[in-house]
Amino acid sequence: MKLPYSLITSLFLGLLLLGSGCKTSSKTRSGDNVSVTKTKSKGSVLDNITKSTNLTGLVSDMTGSFISENVMAADSTFQNILLHTVPIWSSRSSKYLYVEQAIEGQESTPLKQQIYELLKDNDGGFEIKRYKLTNSDTVVGKWKSPAYFDQFDLSILDEEEGCTLYVIQHADGSYSGSTRMDHCINSDNGASYASTILKVRKGRIMSWEQGFNTDKVQVWGAKKGGYQFLRK
């Protein structure tokens, strides 16, 4: 039987805790569908791991207009990027976000246009499936008018196979996740696969995307850290 990826992550964290001699306890806060696991070892970085069944907070924290903050001033690969994320298709059972990124001043030619489908997994975490659009040219700038997408059905979506983000929530309300190691196929600039690390908290999104060739040598993306996007 194939284990859910978030369950594998939980087991890995559990082994780390056992190996470090940490004691853990768990409790559920009534009324908010959130359970918290607390580690009691001194200085543990695995404190307050949270399981949540509510997508609302993740959708809310990812929604808005953001601008990148260059925290790695010495990294010449950084560019000033605008990020717009808006909910679409509110009548559908899944939660969908339209995501558009562009270099500041070049908004008419976005770097990236995607649709995210946010789902609960079976282990208290979340999955973010990512899709390209078959009609990307017609929806440039439509983050300003989310209802524009109502005329389209799911046939405009082209799933990026292997590029799902597996996300957990922490007790401080933040979220973090990543793609699986080398599952996200990518051929840009000689790459064979891409990886993404995502961190989300109120007012801030960190996204670190990199491409690697078959020798696991990085061939595109920021080298020293991810882009920090601040809500405008």
Q: What is the pLDDT of residues 92-123, one digit of tens each?
A: 999 999 999 999 999 999 999 999 999 999 88
Q: Where are the alpha helices (DSSP H) in the chain?
A: 5-20, 56-62
Whether 31 has a pLDDT exceeding 60, the answer reads no
Mean pLDDT of 7-31: 39
* Pair 149, 160: CB distance under 8 Å: no
Q: Answer whether 0.75 is exceeded by the pTM.
A: yes
* Pair 78, 68: CB distance under 8 Å: yes
Please give the domain boundaries of the chain with CATH numbers for all domains: 5-52 (no CATH), 56-231 (2.40.128.590)
pLDDT, residue 123, reads 86
Task: With cut-offs at 50, 70 and 90, classify the pLDDT of residue 43.
Answer: very low
